Amino acid sequence: MIRWRNLATAAAALVLPGTALAQTDDIVRFVTCPIYRDTDAGRKSGCWLADMHETGIRYDVSASPTKPDWNYAVLVEGRVSAGQDGACGGVTLDPVRTSTLEEGCTRHMLPAEGYPGRRYVLEGRFVQPMAVPREVPPPPYEPRSFYLYFEFDRDFLIYQYDDYLIDRAATWLRAAQPRRIVITGYAATDPQTISGRTLAERPQVARERAEMVAEAMRRLLPGTPVGARWESGSTPIDDADADGLPGQSQRRVEIRPEF
Amino acid sequence: MIFRFAGRLLLFASAGLLVGTAAVRSAAPQDWWAPGDGRTFPAQVDYRNEQGVLRVLLANGPLDTRDHPFFAPPGANGRACVTCHQPADAMSLSVESARERWEATGGRDQLFSAYDGSNCPTLPQGERASHSLLLDHGLIRIQLPWPVTEWNGRAVEPDFTIEVVRDPYGCNSGEEYGPAAGNVSVYRRPRPVANLKYLIATGFAYDPKQGLPLPLDPVSGRPMSGNLMADGRSGTLGDQMRDAAATHLQLLAQMDAGERDRIEEFILRVYAAQQFSSAGGALDAGGAEGGPRKLADSEPGQLGSIGTPLWSEFEAWERISDAERVTLSPEALAFRQSVARGARVFRDKTFLITDSAGINAPIGFGNPVRNSCVFCHNMTMMGNDVAPGQVDLGTTTQPFADPAPHLPLFRITCTGRPHPFYGRVIHTSDPGFALTTGRCADVGKITLQSMRGLAARAPYFSNGSASDLRGVVDYYDRRYDIGYTEQEKQDLVNLMSVL
């Protein structure tokens, strides 16, 4: 149930007189220290908030596949959602990504303050148990690309995001039986100024990503040769699983079968 | 009515307590299984403990243990696998059994072999003080290579250095057994060799904590669960046997494949769980489904959150009928209700989990994350982790670990990225999973335990830091500032006492 007060708060956050507007479908990108709001609607129901200091707008970034760490700064990349439920006390970004940075933060927790939070629901990108048979993708099995995406400057395969994507790719590749798989890691090494900081991924993270995914493919497709290469200076691509977030699409690995 | 349990005579005033369960062994040999004593391992055997009765089942019938490699001493030190995996202790080794054995043999049992049954092989043997870690804390010395060697034998270049800060027994600072000599000596509890089909089960192909699909067993090609050993250093039962044979049994020549197959065939048949509660009666009565039989008959690897909820074996005790109530003493009724509440608390009482590697980083759940005990103890009927379970609860690592002057203390310095929660310098009595991976981020991570047979195998946690079940609850309550009520604590203790 959404309380009237929460709806009002959400509406106010979307239109802040005299300051800035947060319009539906706006893409925002900023760095800040995250705030945890201790709502309790059961397991994994706490809210994550991020204040964009440039505008004074508080965003609800709880929909990110990776949640923040209150000890560290966070890079927020998200789109203002058309569906503002006011559950957490901030303008909802969805889709949204949060990347934990190495810059330290003072941890901060807010009480629920009447915000209900959201009950955790397993939906979207999640892997089925091994006991659930995968549907065999139909032919033709022609060269194509599969993509995996990462947090800023990290090579960790994200739970309930990359595992889903890689499981889907592996299912197709098992059916297609390519002669070889080529993994290409990319890094967004071109510096960008975000919230007064110059952010650029390390060039070597491209290699780390490629090698991580190559190891994953060796485990999922034993016997299939896997090659790895890497490139820096990544540019955005248009792939549905990056959810229309250009920054996310730059931090990727491409899996490409060769027949 | 008189029931004879293996080695311990029990008198039950009520004849109904074990009705409908099983016949108890008619013979009454000693509880302790000495290597090579040639007994037959029965299809079912019950052992009394402080909380009631543990039942050990051997699926597919009894086993003649004469010359069986699990039971026969193959090496010079006279030990066998059974030495540290005693049926009465749910196939682990309780500190109580170790003490009894010390008293019975004047410290001359093979259990107290200098290599790992003493605090350090360099100490004078046969003196109690030299075996205090085993006798007081149930700890066996584990000698690991330093720098690190991975489970597949591959050398790893660690991203941390290790220094010895405190060394009560000289083992880590001496010439043979410490980091300077290419080894690290840590001290851990033997893990139970029972209900193993659950520990090797892989519910999902991915290890979310490592961000990778599960590694494959190079022999079978099957994914490895990662739940077998405290530091995950052996991914298969065969690897674990090779490791144990070369260290704990001090075998110069390895067991052959046939011997390993015979051990594996045996241990995959063993199920152990509490069957009877001295406070609540039979654990499969009144609609409850406790005891090992259900474990033996069920499919492993099921995630409680999307299937059968954890500890729903005791759900029937949430609604004990009036007809049943009159058959129970007030104490038994109250105990059963407490167990049922404990299961609810275990599943439903949420708290903020903070700064615990393997949970709060790097997996993406966030730090903090609100969840309950089943977040990690999530496998139906067992409470181990469906996803491989190396997490850092802080039981071995400062500042969360309780003072442990009896243990060595290491200073870990991260040479790459600092640890996400401890920073660059970490003090720990056991680096845990980091001694397998060589990664600073894994310092203090320990594989989650299964929760069956707890009543038979105190003390608890990998370093024995909780002397009893209440100690386990109190540690969690302190570590995560949970705020359990006294009633909730007792309900959790009662629940754990019947697993």
- Inter-chain residue contact A38 with B364, CB threshold 8 Å: no
Dihedral pair phi/psi, residue A4, rounded to 5°: -55, -40
pLDDT at B422 over 90: yes
Instruction: Identify which of A226, A189, A188 has the alpha carbon closest to the alpha carbon of residue A210.
Output: A226
Please list every residue in chain A whose beta carbon sits closer than 8 Å to the beta carbon of residue B439: none
Please list every residue in chain A whose beta carbon sits closer than 8 Å to the beta carbon of residue B363: 159
What pLDDT score does A123 carry?
A: 87
Size of interface A-B (CB pairs under 8 A): 102
Comparing CB atoms, the residue among B205, B208, B350 nearest residue A159 is B208
pLDDT in 10s for each residue of chain A, 259 residues: 333 334 334 444 454 444 456 888 899 999 999 999 999 999 999 999 999 999 999 999 999 999 999 999 999 999 999 999 999 999 999 999 999 999 999 999 999 999 999 999 988 999 999 989 999 999 999 999 999 999 999 999 999 999 999 999 999 999 999 999 999 999 999 999 999 999 999 999 999 999 999 999 999 999 999 999 999 999 999 999 999 999 999 999 999 999 9
- Inter-chain residue contact A130 with B204, CB threshold 8 Å: yes
- Taking the C-alpha atoms of residue B88 and residue B94, their distance in angstroms, rounded to an integer, is 9
Q: Is A240 exposed, middle or buried (0-12, 13-18, 19+ CB in 10 A)?
A: exposed
Closest residue in chain B to residue A40, using alpha carbons only: B370
pLDDT at B456 over 90: yes
Q: B247: phi > 0 → left, psi -120 to 50 → alpha, else beta; which?
A: alpha
Please list every residue in chain A whose beta carbon sits closer than 8 Å to the beta carbon of residue B204: 127, 129-130
What pLDDT score does B77 carry?
A: 83
User: How crowded is residue A167: how many other Cβ atoms within 10 Å of its Cβ?
Assistant: 20
Question: CA quadruple B222, B223, B226, B232: dihedral positive or negative?
Answer: positive
Please list every residue in chain A whose beta carbon sits closer than 8 Å to the beta carbon of residue B350: 40, 42-43
Please list every residue in chain B whose beta carbon sits closer than 8 Å to the beta carbon of residue A73: none
- Inter-chain residue contact A167 with B362, CB threshold 8 Å: no
Percent of chain B with pLDDT over 70: 93
- Inter-chain residue contact A109 with B375, CB threshold 8 Å: no
What pLDDT score does B18 carry?
A: 39
Comparing CB atoms, the residue among A43, A109, A215 nearest residue B212 is A215
Comparing CB atoms, the residue among B204, B213, B371 nearest residue A129 is B204
Chain B residues interacting with chain A (CB cutoff of 8 angstroms): 202-206, 208, 211-216, 221, 223, 301, 303, 306, 350, 352, 355, 360-372, 375, 417, 420-421
Measure the CA angle with vertex B423, ends B418 and B429; round to 5°. Answer: 105
* Alpha-carbon gap: A236 to the closest alpha carbon of chain B (Å): 23
Task: Write the pLDDT tens digit of every residue in B94-128.
Answer: 999 999 999 999 999 999 999 999 999 999 999 99
| ipTM of predicted complex | 0.92
Task: Write the pLDDT tens digit of every residue in B223-252.
Answer: 999 999 999 998 899 989 988 888 888 876
- Inter-chain residue contact A40 with B352, CB threshold 8 Å: no
- Taking the C-alpha atoms of residue A245 and residue A100, their distance in angstroms, rounded to an integer, is 17
Q: Is A200 exposed, middle or buried (0-12, 13-18, 19+ CB in 10 A)?
A: middle
pLDDT at B458 over 60: yes
- Inter-chain residue contact A44 with B370, CB threshold 8 Å: yes
- Taking the C-alpha atoms of residue A13 and residue A16, their distance in angstroms, rounded to an integer, is 6
pTM: 0.93
DSSP label at residue A97: E
Please list every residue in chain B whose beta carbon sits closer than 8 Å to the beta carbon of residue A215: 212
**Among B4-8, B374-378, B432-436, whose mean pLDDT is lowest?**
B4-8
Residue B335 near residue B364, CB atoms below 8 Å: no
B189-209 b/e (C-beta count within 10 Å ≥ 16 → b): bbbbbbbbbbbbbbbbbbbbb
Helix (H) or strand (E) segment spanning residue B324: helix B322-325
Q: Is B11 exposed, middle or buried (0-12, 13-18, 19+ CB in 10 A)?
A: exposed
Chain A residues interacting with chain B (CB cutoff of 8 angstroms): 36, 38, 40, 42-46, 48, 65-72, 100, 102, 109, 122, 127, 129-131, 154-163, 166-167, 212, 215-216, 219-220, 222
Residue type, B71: F
* Alpha-carbon gap: B301 to the closest alpha carbon of chain A (Å): 9
- Inter-chain residue contact A159 with B363, CB threshold 8 Å: yes
Comparing CB atoms, the residue among A43, A131, A156 nearest residue B350 is A43
Please list every residue in chain A whose beta carbon sits closer than 8 Å to the beta carbon of residue B367: 67-71
B211-232 b/e (C-beta count within 10 Å ≥ 16 → b): bbbbbbbeeeeebbbbbbbbbb
* Alpha-carbon gap: B128 to the closest alpha carbon of chain A (Å): 46
Comparing CB atoms, the residue among B215, B368, B420 nearest residue A219 is B215
* Alpha-carbon gap: B208 to the closest alpha carbon of chain A (Å): 6
Kindly indicate the confidence band of residue B338, based on its pLDDT and cuts at 50, 70 and 90.
very high
Q: What is the mean pLDDT of residues B51-57?
A: 97
What pLDDT score does A43 carry?
A: 92
Residue B238 near residue B264, CB atoms below 8 Å: yes
Please list every residue in chain B whose beta carbon sits closer than 8 Å to the beta carbon of residue A129: 203-204, 301, 303, 306
User: How crowded is residue B281: how many other Cβ atoms within 10 Å of its Cβ?
Assistant: 25
- Inter-chain residue contact B366 with A219, CB threshold 8 Å: no
- Inter-chain residue contact B212 with A162, CB threshold 8 Å: no
- Taking the C-alpha atoms of residue A60 and residue B383, their distance in angstroms, rounded to an integer, is 34
- Taking the C-alpha atoms of residue A257 and residue A211, their distance in angstroms, rounded to an integer, is 16
Mutate to test the interface with A, among B202, B367, B437 (most CBs of A within 10 A): B367
What pLDDT score does B28 carry?
A: 35
- Inter-chain residue contact A129 with B370, CB threshold 8 Å: no
